[in-house]
């Protein structure tokens, strides 16, 4: 079939194409919904025993994540002597008591990385206390973070972000209709 300016596309076909296009993009909602911002550092290169320790966090309301990264100061030092790593969080306002969570060791190529999830029930500033115990060293690191929404605005966000594309699609369809009317004349 050769297409030329006189070719006519039935309205039903355009409707099906639009529906399939919308369904294709709806298929990606779970991927888009899962996107969050990256963690950021709250403590950088604090000397704890034979390590430089950094603490990174993504303090989202609901579940926030924390990472404690250990880098040996001397290259020949391993990470076998790290004992317990814990985090305590409490609101700066004092409305709740401190809750303590244990960190889990994650595998890394060098050094050591510990990870945990912390529950933040509302957006406000929280005191953070990291407790590190190892062979021959013990230290507490203190900081403060603000629990914030995770950046998603829910299903309504999809509608808001889709509005410019819907507007362009409407203009495009109107242009097709106007072009067809001019071709028929």
Please report, in tens digits, the pLDDT of each residue of the chain (185 residues total): 455 555 555 555 656 677 777 767 666 655 444 445 688 999 999 999 899 999 999 999 999 999 999 998 887 677 778 889 999 999 999 999 999 999 999 888 878 899 999 999 999 999 999 999 988 899 999 999 999 887 666 677 777 888 899 889 999 999 899 888 888 87
The domains of the chain are located at 11-34+152-184, 40-146
Query: What is the model's pLDDT at position 84?
Result: 92
Query: What is the model's pLDDT at position 34?
Result: 43
Query: What is the model's pLDDT at position 27?
Result: 66
Q: What distance in Å separates the CA atoms of residue 97 and residue 173, rounded to the nearest whole number?
A: 59
Q: What distance in Å separates the CA atoms of residue 156 and residue 159, rounded to the nearest whole number?
A: 5
Architecture, CATH, for domain 40-146? Sandwich (2.60)
Query: What is the model's pLDDT at position 35?
Result: 41
């Amino acid at each position: 079939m050769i297409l030329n300016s006189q070719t006519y596309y039935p309205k039903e076909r355009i409707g099906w194409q639009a529906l399939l296009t919308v369904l294709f993009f709806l298929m990606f909602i779970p991927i888009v919904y899962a996107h969050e911002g990256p963690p950021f550092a709250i403590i950088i290169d604090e000397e704890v025993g034979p390590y430089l320790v950094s603490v990174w966090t993504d303090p989202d309301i609901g579940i926030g994540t924390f990472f404690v990264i250990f880098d040996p100061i001397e290259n020949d030092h391993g990470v076998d002597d790290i004992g317990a790593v814990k985090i305590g969080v409490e609101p700066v306002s004092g409305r709740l008591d401190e809750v303590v969570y244990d960190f889990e060791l994650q595998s890394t190529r060098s050094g050591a990385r510990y990870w945990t999830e912390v529950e933040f029930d509302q957006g406000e500033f929280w005191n953070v206390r990291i407790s590190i115990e190892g062979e021959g060293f013990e230290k507490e690191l203190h900081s403060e973070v603000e629990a914030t929404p995770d950046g998603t605005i829910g299903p309504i966000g999809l509608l808001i972000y889709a509005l410019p594309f819907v507007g362009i699609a409407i203009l495009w369809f109107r242009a097709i209709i106007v072009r067809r009317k001019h071709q028929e004349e």
